[in-house]
Structure 1
Amino acid sequence: MWKVGIITASDTAARGEREDESARVLHELVREHLKCDVVVYRILPDDIETLKEHMIELIDREHVDLLLTTGGTGLSPRDVTPEATLAVIDREIPGFAEEMRRACMAHSRRAMLTRAVAGTRGNALVINFPGSPSGVRECFAAIVDQIPHALAILQGKEAEYAGQPVE
């Protein structure tokens, strides 16, 4: 199936000062709903250059099909994941981020403050998720049904996945 990579952007997790619960949740959701395993996982500090470098490495050299990030999408000056993502992707897919925000607004009005983005680099899909486990769950649930279709289109395999349900 697809090769999936996860990057956590968090100064405190990168320093080992907190557990990375959001990435753990993403691992579980990917395994359960997309029937894939995460092949590359990294915890990085909130640094735009570091994030860009690792995103490019995972897509261009490790050849992940799906790169999911968690953390760094808020309003703090250190939250730079969207900027790093925008510098790395070729094309933005606003519908993913819009749907995640819309769905999460039912749970918390603060969801409107997230700056998460999604897009493509080559035939890989990149999606930013918030840094909270509950935010990851809610956002993933909002878009998981479209991830296989998006990847199939990007990789020229649309006919193979057309009409297949996602659990």
Structure 2
Amino acid sequence: MNKNTRIGLVSISDRASQGTYKDLGIPSLKDWLKKVILNPFEVEERLIPDDKETIKAVLKELVDEKKCDLVLTTGGTGPARRDVTPDATLEIATREVPGFGEQMRRISSVFVPTAILSRQVGALRETEDHAALIINLPGQPKAIAETLEGLPAKGVNGVFAAVPYCIELIGGPTIETDATYVKAFRPKSAKRPEIIDSLILEPEGKADSAIIMLHGLGADGSDFGHFREELIASGAPLESTRMVLPNAPYIPISMNNGYEMRGWFDLYSLESRDREDAEGIKKTFQLIRRLISEEESKGIPRDRIFLGGFSQGCCMTLYAAVQLDKPIGGFFGLSGYLPLIDKEEVEHVGSAIKSPIFIGYGEEDSVVPPAFTQISVSYLRKLGADKLSAHGYPGLQHSIDLDEIGDLADFLATVLR
């Protein structure tokens, strides 16, 4: 399930916001976006006066609360005293992206020498679990289109050609464009984020909690289609829990001679962890962040969102427990281990490590050696996981049995109280 792109449109004008004249900025932007963007997107509109504090508050709301991936403003970019859009943007930004402003002035200079008076900026606003690109555009509809599309006949690219790749780089969704208007540019080496399709199992009533369950290598989400019912039968209070069962993309698996199968990251060996797919692990982690954010946007409190996984899914679950900056309801990992131990990629430890964590493994597992799991348990505790419970099951191989389901049900019953 791929998240729709959310776009904030902000028209900044004293007179338009007072009703003195009709705003043309937002309608022009909406029409342009509808003809250029091919995949579904959602729009948040705001019409506000040229007041710096108001602009700052609206930009923060659109990024922090509405989770917009892209925010486009129009108006208020000149040198007049009331033109404060760039100032407000930079004050709430975490980083500037200077190339956007430079290219916008280059485009405008083809038409008017006063383009050098424009103070338009492009910038990023980043929070713990989200990031957005903010671009200040001109106020006139014709200038908006020229700035976004560029001047192909003169060999001048518009700024929107770089927007999709920028949004992907900061962890946002994929944007596809109609090349008739704008051909989105991506380096040949760039990999687009895989669209994650998920099996969503809703409860009979309104959901008040959610479990995101990651399957193992070569499997898919349907493997856990009855998992909620099995946990309920063992005493877990999941009658109002939504199950989110994402499917990993098909990728070549090195230890299987490059054969493509569903996997969260590449595997090189089952016996050694000397070589690990750090890039693939980090890429899947960004998808996990998005899945958690989607549940929050559906009204599920963060402390009632749980991430679990089996085998490779367990590896990603434990990695997320270390990396996430904010706690969630809890984590449970079955028959797996924490990847990238002692690698620089795991040096960041977020506060999610303080969430409740359940780890279960078979003591006769011939796929993931029990020693891998035991080392991971010790390492997680060293990192600060003081609510971690680990359970080894005699005779259990690389699977899940009723004893483990019972213990996991008890864990969920405790944390959901």
- TM-score norm. by structure 2 comes to 0.37
> Residue 159 of structure 1 aligns to which amino acid in structure 2?
K
| 1:14 matched residue in structure 2 | 17
2:109 corresponds, among 99, 105, 109, to 105
Structure 1 stretch displaced more, 17-26 or 111-120: 17-26
| Structure 1 outlier segments of 4+, above 4 Å | none
CA offset at residue 148 of structure 1?
Answer: 0.4
Q: Please show how residues 14-163 of structure 1 align to structure 2 within 5 Å.
A: 14-35=17-38, 36-122=40-126, 123-141=131-149, 142-155=158-171, 159-160=191-192
Q: Percent identity?
A: 37
Relative to 1, partners in 2 of residues 1:38 and 1:17: Cα closer, same or farther, differing over 3 Å? Answer: farther
CA offset at residue 34 of structure 1?
Answer: 2.5
Q: Which has the higher helix share?
A: 1
Relative to 1, partners in 2 of residues 1:107 and 1:125: Cα closer, same or farther, differing over 3 Å? Answer: same
| 1:164 matched residue in structure 2 | none
> Residue 27 of structure 1 aligns to which amino acid in structure 2?
K
CA distance in 2, matches of 1:156, 1:70: 22
CA offset at residue 156 of structure 1?
Answer: 6.5
Relative to 1, partners in 2 of residues 1:150 and 1:40: Cα closer, same or farther, differing over 3 Å? Answer: same
Matched, 1:3 2:6: yes
> Residue 128 of structure 1 aligns to which amino acid in structure 2?
N
CA offset at residue 89 of structure 1?
Answer: 0.7
Q: Give unmatched runs, 5+ long, in structure 2.
A: 150-157, 174-189, 194-417
Show CA shifts across 1:119-147 (max 9, x none).
10112000000111122111111111111
Relative to 1, partners in 2 of residues 1:150 and 1:78: Cα closer, same or farther, differing over 3 Å? Answer: same
Structure 1 stretch displaced more, 36-45 or 11-20: 36-45
On the 8 A contact 1:4/1:64 being kept in 2, the answer is: yes
Q: Give unmatched runs, 5+ long, in structure 1.
A: 162-167
CA distance in 1, matches of 2:136, 2:10: 9
Higher relative contact order (CA 8 A, sep 6+): 1
Secondary structure of the residue aligned to 1:57 is helix
On the 8 A contact 1:27/1:37 being kept in 2, the answer is: no
On the 8 A contact 1:12/1:18 being kept in 2, the answer is: yes
On the 8 A contact 1:129/1:139 being kept in 2, the answer is: yes
On the 8 A contact 1:5/1:68 being kept in 2, the answer is: yes
On the 8 A contact 1:69/1:127 being kept in 2, the answer is: yes
CA distance in 1, matches of 2:43, 2:137: 18
Structure 1 stretch displaced more, 147-156 or 57-66: 147-156
> Residue 99 of structure 1 aligns to which amino acid in structure 2?
Q
Show CA shifts across 1:60-109 (max 9, x none).
00000000000000121111000000011100001011011101111122
CA RMSD of aligned residues (A): 1.7
Secondary structure of the residue aligned to 2:166 is helix
Show CA shifts across 1:5-35 (max 9, x none).
1111100010011111122111112222223
CA offset at residue 118 of structure 1?
Answer: 0.6
On the 8 A contact 2:103/2:159 being kept in 1, the answer is: yes
On the 8 A contact 2:75/2:138 being kept in 1, the answer is: yes
CA offset at residue 39 of structure 1?
Answer: 1.8
Secondary structure of the residue aligned to 1:4 is strand
Relative to 1, partners in 2 of residues 1:114 and 1:38: Cα closer, same or farther, differing over 3 Å? Answer: farther
